[in-house]
A and B are shown apart, each in its own frame.
Chain A
Amino acid sequence: DAGITQSPRHKVTETGTPVTLRCHQTENHRYMYWYRQDPGHGLRLIHYSYGVKDTDKGEVSDGYSVSRSKTEDFLLTLESATSSQTSVYFCAISGVQRTDTQYFGPGTRLTVL
């Protein structure tokens, strides 16, 4: 998985609780991404980062926030989880440019009850 770890790998939580997912990379890549994967949909971009403290929204960013305080870590936070955020979340990285090939982590399966 291209030097990418995600934690936790599985999480069950209740509606209204905050949740933070972590992505850690050892490749020193500039770009990091958070996607969600749902049945019937391709991977959809939530947020991405192009450097420490530099982030931008993707197509499905509502209800999510991100932070990147170090090159190797990219956090995804659900401030108040909803059942519609039940999904599998993938982190990805790419190198120098956003146009570079993206490599994915193993994923986090999140269930919001």
Chain B
Amino acid sequence: GESVGLHLPTLSVQEGDNSIINCAYSNSASDYFIWYKQESGKGPQFIIDIRSNMDKRQGQRVTVLLNKTVKHLSLQIAATQPGDSAVYFCAERAGAGQFYFGTGTSLTVIP
């Protein structure tokens, strides 16, 4: 199957700082990518997505960057807040609509 991994399993940031969470994907044919946020005891929550014909997409306090050359995806969270503490994972859509999910990075925001 596909391999979608993350560079760092845990990340701690000070409240108010910016956070960057990284993801490497393996299938150069993947055409769509999603970042999910998962709080403890809850289901994954859609944050932001990006298609492979884009390099950058911005949402509210979040930005996703896609570097197809090195097959790398990142999620930037501006002015990180305690409510941002969660596990973040990426998903890539490969052929035939199959999604593959990363294992996640645990983000802890220090007040």
* Interface of A toward B, CB cutoff 8 Å: 1, 4, 40-45, 59, 90, 97-99, 101-107
Contacts and interface: CB of A to CB of B under 8 A. Distances in A.
Interface size range of chain B in the complex: 20 to 34
B16 interface: no
Interface of B: 1, 4, 32, 34, 36, 41-46, 49, 89, 91, 93, 96-104
A107 B43 contact: yes
29 contacts: A1-B42, A1-B43, A1-B45, A40-B103, A42-B4, A42-B89, A42-B91, A42-B100, A42-B101, A42-B102, A42-B104, A43-B44, A43-B91, A43-B101, A44-B101, A45-B99, A90-B44, A98-B96, A98-B97, A99-B32, A101-B34, A102-B34, A102-B99, A103-B46, A104-B43, A104-B45, A106-B43, A107-B41, A107-B43
Chain A binding surface, main DSSP class: loop
Nearest to A98: B97
B4 A104 contact: no
Given A42-B4, A42-B89, A59-B1, A101 B101 contact: no
